[in-house]
Amino acid sequence: MASSMLSLGSTSLLPREINKDKLKLGPSGSNPFLRTKSLSRVTMSVSVKPSRFEGITMAPPDPILGVSEAFKADTNELKLNLGVGAYRTEELQPYVLNVVKKAENLMLERGDNKEYLPIEGLAAFNKATAELLFGAGHPVIKEQKVATIQGLSGTGSLRLAAALIERYFPGAKVLISAPTWGNHKNIFNDAKVPWSEYRYYDPKTIGLDFEGMIEDIKEAPEGSFILLHGCAHNPTGIDPTPEQWVKIADVVQEKNHIPFFDVAYQGFASGSLDEDAASVRLFAERGMEFFVAQSYSKNLGLYAERIGAINVVCSSADAATRVKSQLKRIARPMYSNPPVHGARIVANVVGDATMFGEWKAEMEMMAGRIKTVRQRLYDSLVSKDKSGKDWSFILKQIGMFSFTGLNKAQSDNMTNKWHVYMTKDGRISLAGLSMAKCEYLADAIIDSCHNVS
Amino acid sequence: MMATAIRNSASRGTMMSRQISGLRSMSSWWKNVEPAPKDPILGVTEAFLADPSPDKVNVGVGAYRDDNGKPVVLECVREAERRIAGTSFMEYLPMGGSVKMVDETLKLAYRDNSEFIKDKRIAAVQSLSGTGACRLFADFQKRFRPDSQIYIPVPTWSNHHNIWRDAQVTQKTYHYYHPETKGLDFSGLMDDVKNAPEGSFFLLHACAHNPTGVDPTEEQWREISQLFKAKNHFAFFDMAYQGFASGDPARDAKSIRIFLEDGHHIGISQSYAKNMGLYGQRVGCLSVLCEDEKQAVTVKSQLQQLARPMYSNPPLHGAQIVSTILGDPALKGLWLKEVKVMADRIIGMRTALRESLEKLGSPLSWEHVTKQIGMFCYSGMTPEQVDRLTSEYHIYMTRNGRISMAGVTTGNVGYLANAIHEVTKSS
């Protein structure tokens, strides 16, 4: 490779002036200078040191972003983007909650300053987020047993916890569901925490492989971390029933495992904040120590503001204090302190009774739209499909996503023939579906399911 | 239904935990977690806030204050926020952040009409302010040059050590601050650069060195650059104070411009925390100058790959403020004016502090107070003297003797000078 350092300041050297002894060898050991075809092209090279970034290859495209890019490039009128994990209105537009606009205007009027937050984030936010999760009067909060710090949405909060696990539980494994959100693996990989999978999705029933899940959790070495989706499992939309949650709690306790909840959809799944926190609260009732990562990307539509939290429920206030201090120590060399804007929005919304009520209403509306669209899709499928296939799994799933049961070839058919963009694992985002498009989607699914193998 | 399940499960749970308690008493998983030491910088502000004394002065953390000791939100920022409020969606930014904001930011560092920008040779991503940019680079360095080390000046911002340590990159140091002259140990620096193995990675403060305020002269930068060339070292610039040091962003980027002219392929961390007062918004940029466009695309893809499992994509609000301001000539002009006001106020306070100390008849030389530049002054005081300042005078600063000049006002400079004089006059 030609020189990585052009010296524009010094006189340019003609080939005959270059002392070959001074040339550095390329990575293969051969003299790159001798490889050049035309000497005259090398006049600019002073020294032929290879780039220090020589061996760096292109990172693979993100499996989800790639979908949106392909969608954008498609010129067909009928195209439908069901890859996006972001809420859309019936008109398929992004949605900024009214209560968020209100909060922002309030903040503007107040003229809040932009000083650094403390490493652990905005105190008002931390208080609000823990209360939202556990319920305001909950013993773990009253007794100060929860270490809460503001994190960079769900991702950042998960990453902080992963780093804590790596530091204090060296060698401990995290069990993640098969399948799970794609970035979970990246997070644990980069944090150098080993992971393995527990059975979750059953393609035969397009439902939960509960026996497999329990078996795998039982099999795991004592004291493993079990990553659980609090509600609205991503990507399948399949959640355990309340009775199943009880059994999961039993086996987790039996094996001394540490539960690790990812709660990205509180309020967004059923429409009720409390109902969606039921699984977490169940575990809290048991007196277990566990982690919970939260995100406000979807339920407050604050995607880009990166607002979330990591909560560590400990058995004592003293442990919580120590754990919080160590979480801060992990955050400091990552980003020093978290961004203020999203935190203030959440704190304002939750802290004002009127706005909180408005938020709940808007959330119910969003969750409601998704439920309605699910129903319409189901109805379309049932009325159009003459094969007698049971489509009820669509109604049993919950949240933004639905696992259609389509395999890769069938998903490709959805895209190539029908211009329906989705991820290759068969996941569709109902948040990107409008009532108007349900019939078309049903046609596409039926075709892909029955005519492609 | 869930509530019943919870109630039933709770009683089962208590039964279960009583059964389990034989195996492991209700002790914590976290017994071996020690309380972390307080961050030396941010801990100062915590202590300051807790102090009830009416005389207390905070010259600890590097956040700008006006002459009344109040935090400042720039007018250009307020205006940008008014324009932004309620207008845009909050959809995820791409992993690399706001393209508009990154483009404007590169112009500041590399120059508006830089050939490197035109030729698309710069791999750049929006970062979580300066910290995030440094951390991304450190992780990148670890992943692709796992055997490399980072040379860090002595002293430096303490978080630099945390960043490269958590990225698991071996650290070495190079001489920088000369305690006797309270200036630059130039020969020590050059020796260390010369003795470092060829192709080493060096962390350089582009301007307004933190914590010393001591910068190389232009001529010294040229010499450093030449030696870097001879040794094929990699220069990573942390530029947290562009515009804030001299009041002139172009001038403050001089070191970088010299290295670019000399053909180095550098890396830069930029932050808008101080120069745009966007501290809590966490806005910055990491850039790496590559050989060509293809390599820039490749390197950018890998930087994004590192960001994805850390925070997925960076926060929007601060980036929107930056691109609104820098994208509008009138707002940009206002920003440049406001930055100069901040820089000038600090320069004025340096003069005031020095003169006050001299007037008090201090036996020591305080020339360095005005020679140093930027937000910080390395006073030369010992940790013990600093402790006295805190315990006797309620003056808060980091124990390395670093004074944040941004916290000095016409109202407190006399008090500060007096206190410093009292604790140093017998040394």
- The ipTM assigned to this model is 0.81
Contacting residues for A160 by C-beta, under 8 A, at least 6 apart: A149, A151, A310, A327, A330, A331, A334
Per-residue model confidence as pLDDT tens digits over A55-107? 778 887 777 767 887 888 899 999 999 997 889 999 999 999 999 999 999 99
Q: CA of B387 to nearest chain A CA: how many angstroms apart?
A: 23
State the DSSP H helix or E strand holding residue B376, giving kind and residue range, or none if neither: strand B376-378
CB contact under 8 A, A9 and B261: yes
Q: What is the pLDDT of residue B93?
A: 86
Choice among A21-30, B65-74, B227-236 with the minimum mean pLDDT: A21-30
Name the band, by pLDDT with cuts 50, 70 and 90, for residue A26: very low
Per-residue model confidence as pLDDT tens digits over A255-278? 999 999 999 999 989 999 999 999
Q: What is the pLDDT of residue B360?
A: 96
Distance CA A281, CA A230 (A): 10
CATH class of the structural domain A116-351: alpha beta
Look over chain A and give the mean of its residue pLDDT values, rounded to a whole number: 88
Distance CA A450, CA A385 (A): 10
Comparing A68 with B250, the larger pLDDT belongs to B250
Q: CA of B394 to nearest chain A CA: how many angstroms apart?
A: 21
Task: For residue A42, give the nearest of A54, A33, A31 by alpha carbon.
Answer: A33
Name the band, by pLDDT with cuts 50, 70 and 90, for residue A33: very low
Q: Is B175 helix (H, G, I), strand (E, B) or coil?
A: strand
Answer whether A380 touches B (CB < 8 Å).
no
In the residue annotation, B335 being an active-site residue is answered as no
β-pair type (B395-396, A201-202): unpaired
How far does chain A reach from its first CA to its final CA, in angstroms?
48
Answer whether B175 touches A (CB < 8 Å).
no
Tokens of A381: 């499928």
Query: Chain B neighbours among A 336-375 (CB < 8 Å)?
Result: 336-342
Name the band, by pLDDT with cuts 50, 70 and 90, for residue B88: confident
Q: Write down how long chain B is.
A: 427
Helix axes B317-326, B75-84, angle to 10 degrees: 110
Distance CA B136, CA B128 (A): 9
CB contact under 8 A, A183 and B312: yes
At the fourth CATH level, the homologous superfamily of domain A63-95+357-451 is Aspartate Aminotransferase, domain 1 (3.90.1150.10)
Residues of A in contact with B16 (CB under 8 A): 250, 253-254, 286
Distance CA A266, CA A311 (A): 15
Residues of A in contact with B291 (CB under 8 A): 1, 4, 51, 53
Q: Where are the beta strands (DSSP E) in B252-315?
A: 267-271, 284-289
Choice among A158-162, A233-237, A409-413, B39-43 with the minimum mean pLDDT: B39-43
Q: What is the pLDDT of residue B91?
A: 83
Distance CA B186, CA B174 (A): 11
- Residue carrying structure tokens 């007794």: A143
Task: Kindly report whether the peptide bond that precedes residue B211 is cis, defined as omega within 30 degrees of 0.
Answer: yes
Q: What is the pLDDT of residue B30?
A: 67
User: Measured at the alpha carbon of residue A186, what is the angle toward residues A156 and B240, in degrees to the nearest 5?
Assistant: 45
Neighbouring C-alpha atoms within 13 Å toward the C-beta of B379: 28
Q: Is the pLDDT of residue B105 over 90?
A: yes
Per-residue model confidence as pLDDT tens digits over B163-197? 999 999 999 999 999 999 999 999 999 999 999 99
Mean pLDDT of B23-32: 54
Separation in Å, CA A89 to CA A83, A373, A376, A435, B91: 15, 11, 15, 10, 13
Q: Is the pLDDT of residue B56 over 90?
A: yes
Name the band, by pLDDT with cuts 50, 70 and 90, for residue B322: very high
Least CB–CB distance from B73: residue in A56, A104, A111: A111
Q: Is the pLDDT of residue A448 over 70?
A: yes
Distance CA A403, CA A236 (A): 5
Decide if B309 contacts A189 (C-beta within 8 A): yes
State the DSSP H helix or E strand holding residue B264, giving kind and residue range, or none if neither: none
Distance CA B245, CA B373 (A): 6
CB contact under 8 A, A246 and B9: yes
Mean pLDDT of A343-357: 96
Q: Is the pLDDT of residue B132 over 70?
A: yes
Name the band, by pLDDT with cuts 50, 70 and 90, for residue B4: low
State the DSSP H helix or E strand holding residue B224, giving kind and residue range, or none if neither: helix B218-231
Q: CA of B380 to nearest chain A CA: how many angstroms apart?
A: 27
Q: Is the pLDDT of residue B26 over 70?
A: no
Mean pLDDT of A415-426: 94
Tokens of A409: 């070839």
Name the band, by pLDDT with cuts 50, 70 and 90, for residue A54: low
Q: What b-and-e string marks burial along A124-146, b requiring 16 or more CB atoms within 10 Å of the CB?
A: ebbbbbbbbbbbeebebbeeebb
Distance CA B254, CA B260 (A): 10
Q: What is the pLDDT of residue A39?
A: 37
- Among A173, A298, A371, A437, the active-site one is A298
Decide if B71 contacts A113 (C-beta within 8 A): yes
Name the band, by pLDDT with cuts 50, 70 and 90, for residue B16: very low
- Residue carrying structure tokens 């985002």: A429
Q: Is B126 helix (H, G, I), strand (E, B) or coil?
A: strand
Q: CA of A105 to nearest chain B CA: how many angstroms apart?
A: 7
Per-residue model confidence as pLDDT tens digits over B137-165? 999 999 999 999 999 999 999 899 999 99
Largest interatomic CA distance in chain A? 83
Answer whether B18 touches A (CB < 8 Å).
no
Task: For residue B215, give the nearest of B188, B254, B158 by alpha carbon.
Answer: B254
Name the band, by pLDDT with cuts 50, 70 and 90, for residue A138: very high
Determine the residue type at B68: N
Per-residue model confidence as pLDDT tens digits over B365-374? 999 999 999 9
Q: CA of A12 to nearest chain B CA: how many angstroms apart?
A: 13
Mean pLDDT of B59-75: 91
Q: What is the pLDDT of residue B86?
A: 74
Name the band, by pLDDT with cuts 50, 70 and 90, for residue B39: confident
CB contact under 8 A, B162 and A58: no
Decide if B324 contacts B101 (C-beta within 8 A): no
State the DSSP H helix or E strand holding residue B237, giving kind and residue range, or none if neither: strand B234-239
Distance CA A346, CA B395 (A): 35
- Residue carrying structure tokens 């604050």: A302
Answer whether A310 touches B (CB < 8 Å).
no
Distance CA B426, CA B161 (A): 34
Give chain A's radius of gyration (CA, Å). Answer: 26
How far does chain B reach from its first CA to its final CA, in angstroms?
75
Range with the largest mean pLDDT of A267-271, A341-345, B67-71:
A341-345
Task: For residue B269, give the nearest of B296, B239, B244 by alpha carbon.
Answer: B239
Tokens of B156: 């430096």
Look over chain B and give the mean of its residue pLDDT values, rounded to a whole number: 91
Mean pLDDT of B46-75: 91
Residues of B in contact with A6 (CB under 8 A): 263
Residues of A in contact with B229 (CB under 8 A): 5, 7
Contacting residues for A382 by C-beta, under 8 A, at least 6 apart: A391
Q: What is the pLDDT of residue A51?
A: 66
List chain A domain ranges.
63-95+357-451, 116-351
- Residue carrying structure tokens 């530029």: B239
Per-residue model confidence as pLDDT tens digits over A189-200? 999 999 999 999
User: Measured at the alpha carbon of residue B286, what is the angle toward residues B284 and A295, in degrees to the nearest 5?
Assistant: 60
Residues of A in contact with B313 (CB under 8 A): 304, 306
Q: What is the pLDDT of residue A446?
A: 97
Q: What is the pLDDT of residue B179?
A: 92
Answer whether B317 touches A (CB < 8 Å).
yes
Task: For residue B259, give the nearest of B103, B101, B116 by alpha carbon.
Answer: B116
Q: What b-and-e string marks burial along A287-309, b requiring 16 or more CB atoms within 10 Å of the CB?
A: bbbbbbbbbbbbbbbbbbbbbbb
Decide if B292 contacts B143 (C-beta within 8 A): no
Mean pLDDT of B294-316: 93
CB contact under 8 A, A4 and B291: yes
Mean pLDDT of B112-130: 97
Neighbouring C-alpha atoms within 13 Å toward the C-beta of A346: 34
CB contact under 8 A, A56 and B85: no
Please write down the HEC assignment for all residues of chain A.
CCCCCCCCCCCCCCHHHCCHHHCCCCCCCCCHHHHCCCHHHHCCCCCCCCCCCCCCCCCCCCCCHHHHHHHHHCCCCCCEECCCCCCECCCCCECCCHHHHHHHHHHHHHCCCCCCCCCCCCHHHHHHHHHHHHCCCCHHHHCCCEEEEEEEHHHHHHHHHHHHHHHHCCCCCEEEEECCCHHHHHHHHHCCCCEEEEECEECCCCEECHHHHHHHHHHCCCCCEEEEECCCCCCCCCCCCHHHHHHHHHHHHHCCCEEEEEECCCCCCCCCHHHHCHHHHHHHHCCCCEEEEEECCCCCCCHHHCEEEEEEECCCHHHHHHHHHHHHHHHHHHHCCCCHHHHHHHHHHHHCHHHHHHHHHHHHHHHHHHHHHHHHHHHHHHHHCCCCCCCCHHHHCCCCEEECCCCHHHHHHHHHHHCEECCCCCEEEHHHCCHHHHHHHHHHHHHHHHHCC
